[in-house]
Structure 1
Amino acid sequence: MNQMNLSLTPLSPLVQTHPNDSFRISFAPLSLDEVYQLADEGANGAIVLMSGTVRQETDGKPVRYLEYQAYEPMALVIFRQIAVNIRQEWSDTNRVVIHHRIGQLQIGEISVLVAVGCPHRAEAFAACRYAIDTLKHNAPIWKKEYWADGSSNWVSIGLCEQET
């Protein structure tokens, strides 16, 4: 598999993000329906939505819950940069939605939703994968894993193993 370039083109103050894109950091639970609707548009032939959830185990260790923190102003800039880069690579992209949750999350809760609407599925899949991989690599978001044995550890999501 080809290695994806996860670097970001710096966002110029003159570059505006698309007015129908949506970027959010929230303590409130994230909504699949809302994110899908925000990505929906008549020109789309595909909407690809990626939902990241809190899993019950990390590296064989049982997880009780996670806590997420973010440097919100910079994270939102990164989200906007991701959308700008998506449109440079996949120019037919209609909508980009990136919502990330912070605070304490239980097993099975949604931590991140990324949706991309495009005329064709191939570009929608590629753009969505680029968005989540680049977010995990570049956004100032950290998670603290609380394990069943009572121990815990802070991890920058950028340092998490990139899944292939």
Structure 2
Amino acid sequence: MDENEEPQDFIRICAEKLCTEEVSQLVVSPSCGAVSIFVGTTRNNFEEKKVVHLEYEAYVPMAETEIRKILTDIREKWPSVKHMAVYHRLGLVPITEASIVIAISSPHRNDSLDAVKYCINTLKATVPIWKKEVYGEQGSAWKENKECFWGKQDDK
């Protein structure tokens, strides 16, 4: 076990196809027995509409800043967390492909599992990344995350 291994954070927002194995390997540590991963993929339906693909846009500098804030919060809430990686894809994301991969390592599973859930939920609520669902002949729609608080006047 390498006690001197410094915790690292990896953030990438890109147009390339995401590789879950690559992201998970970034957070592996000899001092950790858990690597928890969330992979968000494009599904082929939404509210009885056939989804052809998703398209993502972002203001990358602000999105990276907001993701860094989330990772800082995670380190405060779960001090045992070692390494964290958040990769988000922009542009067209076909059915079954990943739009986001989050990987977090910690000595024990509960902290990494809780941190991953907090990360995706907070990211969807606060990070300026926008999703358009494309329905083919039925058109398309920009989607607001249900968790998003932008412009909301009340808590629910």
TM range (shorter): 0.7 to 0.9
* CA RMSD of superposed structures (Å): 1.5
**Residue 30 of structure 1 contacts residue 112 of structure 1 at CA under 8 Å; is this kept in 2?**
yes
1:123 to 106, 111, 120: 111
Taking the aligned partners of 1:158 and 1:99, their CA distance within structure 2 comes to 21
How far apart are 1:61 and its partner, in Å?
Answer: 1.1
Residue of structure 1 aligned with 2:42, choices 44, 48, 54: 54
Q: How far is the alpha carbon of 1:55 from its aligned partner?
A: 0.3
Task: Give CA deviations for 1:7-34 in whole Å, capped at 9, x if unaligned.
Answer: xxxxxxxxxxx76210010000111111
Distance 2:130 2:144 in 1: 4
For 1:108-148, what per-residue CA distance to the aligned partner results, in whole angstroms no more than 9, with x for missing partners? 11000001100110111000000000000000000111114
Moved over 3 A (4+): 156-160
* Unmatched tracts of structure 1, length 5 or more: 1-17
SS of the equivalent of 2:133 reads: strand
Q: Are 1:44 and 1:94, in contact at CA under 8 Å, matched by a contact in 2?
A: yes
Distance 2:7 2:31 in 1: 16
- Say which SS state the counterpart of residue 105 (structure 1) adopts: strand
Q: How many angstroms does 1:156 deviate by?
A: 3.4
Look up the SS of the partner of 1:134 in the other structure. Answer: helix
TM-score by length of 2: 0.87
**One-letter code aligned to 2:69:** Q
The answer to whether the aligner puts 1:33 opposite 2:46 as a matched pair is: no
Q: Select 2:11's aligned residue among 17, 23, 27.
A: 23
Give the total of aligned pairs.
143
Question: Residue 51 of structure 1: SS of its match in structure 2?
Answer: strand
1:67 is the counterpart of 2:55 = yes
- Determine if the alignment matches structure 1 residue 99 to structure 2 residue 87: yes
Q: TM-score, normalised by structure 1?
A: 0.83
Q: What percent of counterpart residues are identical?
A: 38
Query: What stretches of structure 2 of length at least 5 have no aligned partner?
Result: 1-5, 149-156
* Residue 42 of structure 1: aligned partner: 30
Aligned residue identity for 1:131: C
SS of structure 2 residue aligned to 1:149: helix
The one-letter code of the counterpart of 1:22 is: F
Q: Residue 30 of structure 1: SS of its match in structure 2?
A: coil
The alpha carbon displacement at 1:155 in A equals: 1.7
